[in-house]
Structure 1
Amino acid sequence: MLQTASETRSETHGKFIWCELMTSDTEAAGRFYSSVLGWSLNTMPMGEGDAYHLFQIGEGDKCPGIGGMMRIPTEMAGSMPPNWSGYVAVDDVDRTAREFEQNGGTVHRQPEDIPQVGRFAVVADPHGAVLNIMTPLPMDDMPPPPPEGAPGTVGWHELYAADLEEAFEFYSRIFGWTKDSDFDMGEMGAYRLFAEHGKQTGGMMKRPEEIPMPCWVYYFNVESVEAAIGRVRAGGGQVLNGPMEVPGSSWIAQCTDPQGAFFCLASMQK
């Protein structure tokens, strides 16, 4: 039986706040995404020869960051393929991690602190789709975020679920997401648009057969999907699908980077 704590949630609980790439080659991936999406990189040493790379829009330390990148740890290189994952803000990471387990999900990495950043955990829903949850620390000196929909920002979050209704009920309980509307995709079933605090932020659908397991995928805004596709191919990536027009007069493409991480592009013009 699904259950959650009864405490009142804040206005940020359930909000996607970050995207992160785990990859086998940070140098090559950094060049690729800088070319395709116009990002700059800000490298932050982490000790023991490793580093965390911030993806930023613009140049300089005070530019807004939209995501990060890390090298896949050596001990996980054989079991973890390159991938993008999202972070969702929650009021209390420890409590939300317990709620994931109580409702049939899994905690892959127990809550722990990231100094000067916040407290996070790696979790999965009952069907196995992985997310990160985080309670960020206040950061008053952060630069203002880029305008909504600006090129290079994350524009959409999409879940390929084993069962649409079960998945939606789970996330609705945990994060407070609400149903916006359904779009009938014929034989593929319904595409569920969901909202966070009344703002449409993503969609859910039954996992297509060609997708090996339930997962979250992320769409990055570009000025023109067709032009971005050219940059993907020039940089050694692959275009799996697109450009394709979708409801709302948007254009999308689904791609993989040269290391194999899956990502998507979106724009208001082809």
Structure 2
Amino acid sequence: MDYHHGKFVWFEHLSRDIPKARTFYDALFGWRTDTVEIADSVPYPMIHHGGHGIGGFREAPVGTPVRWIPYLSVPDIDASFRDAIAAGGKPLMPPIEYGAVGCAALLADPSGAEFVIWKSTRGDPPDIAEIAVGDWYWSELVTTDEKKALTYYESAFGFTSEGMDMGPMGTYYLLKKDGIPRAGLMKAPQPNDGSNWLPYVRVADCDALTAKAQSLGARIAMPPRDIAGIGRFSVLVDPLGAAIAVMQSQPSK
């Protein structure tokens, strides 16, 4: 089994209305959501694409916003949980075994963004050169305090960072693990936006997909725009209130 520690390997939608959420995303991306049984025969709506599981849906705890939560692969769940807390993270759920699937713990970083650390019993999804349309393309932390967040992820999980000047948008940071870019980090446009992880899905046509999302009930938080050398992206807010981005990447040369 291969592991890619420091990679975000799964995304989970915390929802107020799971049937509505899965209907929206299945229609938007061509995903297929099937209910499977995990630990102790608990039913879990799992998202499948391209013949493999890529995420799932859970009920959002009362009083918490609807959002996507990323799963970060770690080599040792207990040691990583201790390191995450020692670096300033807030423990929200201690390590829990999910039967024969793996072990997970829920944390919030010092700026409030929630994420799961995860150790699978079955290895991690492979790194591939060409991400398929409909699969996860990127993970991005939008934070109210980028300096504090950078220090935290570097200290807790051994990431290194590289900053890029994005002009009016400020500095965009790449989080790398063993030299491989694994996520991005940027300051939230407005302080009251809070701190959240934003998943990106690869799409074939950003403009068409954005229009389709709007027709299905999504709100367009950021209309399609180009990133030089990367591609064209937009940010959507689904009918339940969770933000997600889509990326039409430039063809490989």
TM-score (norm: length of structure 2): 0.89
Q: How many residues align?
A: 249
Task: Name which of 148, 158, 172 aligns with 1:176.
Answer: 158
CA contact (8 A) 1:64 1:145 kept: no
Query: How much has 1:99 moved relative to structure 2?
Result: 1.2
Query: Is 2:5 aligned against 1:21?
Result: no
| Cα distance change on mapping 1:26 and 1:50 into 2, 3 Å | farther
Q: How does 1:1-270 map to 2 (within 5 A)?
A: 12-45=4-37, 51-58=43-50, 63-72=51-60, 76-77=61-62, 79-138=63-122, 148-179=130-161, 181-209=162-190, 212-268=193-249
Distance 2:16 2:40 in 1: 17
Give the Cα separation in 1 of the matches to 2:190 and 2:42: 37
Per-residue CA distance 1:68-125 (angstroms, 9 max, x = gap):
11233xxx33x02221010001111111111122111111111111111111100111
Contact 1:51–1:70, Cα closer than 8 Å, also in 2: no
Report the 3-state secondary structure (helix = DSSP H, G, I; strand = E; otherwise coil) of the residue aligned with 1:241: strand
- Secondary structure of 2:222's counterpart equals strand
- The whole-number CA distance in structure 2 between the counterparts of 1:202 and 1:247 is 18
Q: State the 1:46 CA deviation.
A: 6.1
C-alpha separation between the residues in 1 aligned to 2:239 and 2:108? Answer: 26
Deviation at 1:254, TM superposition (A): 0.6
Q: Structure 2: which 5+ runs fail to align?
A: none
Give the drift of 1:143. 9.3
Distance 1:204 1:144 in 2: 23
Q: Which amino acid aligns with 2:92?
A: H
Worse-superposed segment, 47-56 or 200-209:
47-56
**What is the RMSD computed on CA atoms of the aligned residues?**
2.5
Deviation at 1:126, TM superposition (A): 1.4
Normalised by the length of structure 1, the TM-score is 0.84
CA distance in 2, matches of 1:88, 1:101: 15
Q: Is the 8 A contact 1:244 1:253 kept in 2?
A: yes
Please identify runs of 4+ aligned residues in structure 1 that moved more than 3 A.
Answer: 45-50, 142-148
The residue identity in structure 2 corresponding to 1:43 is T
TM-superposed deviation, 1:18: 0.5
CA distance in 2, matches of 1:45, 1:211: 38
Cα contact 2:39–2:100 (8 A) shared by 1:
no
Paired residues of 2:39 and 2:99 also in contact (CA < 8 A): no
Higher alpha-carbon deviation: 128-137 or 195-204:
195-204
Q: Distance in 1 between matches of 2:3 and 2:33?
A: 30
Task: Measure how far apart 1:245 and its partner are.
Answer: 0.7
User: How far is the alpha carbon of 1:144 from its aligned partner?
Assistant: 7.6
Indicate how the Cα distance of structure 1 residues 237 and 177 shifts in structure 2: closer, same or farther if over 3 A, else same: same
The 1:221/1:70 distance shift into structure 2, 3 A limit, reads same
For structure 1, the residue ranges without an aligned partner over 5 or more in a row are 1-9
Identity %: 31
The 1:167/1:39 distance shift into structure 2, 3 A limit, reads: same
Partner of 1:6: none
Instruction: Specify the code of the residue in structure 2 equivalent to 1:165.
Output: K
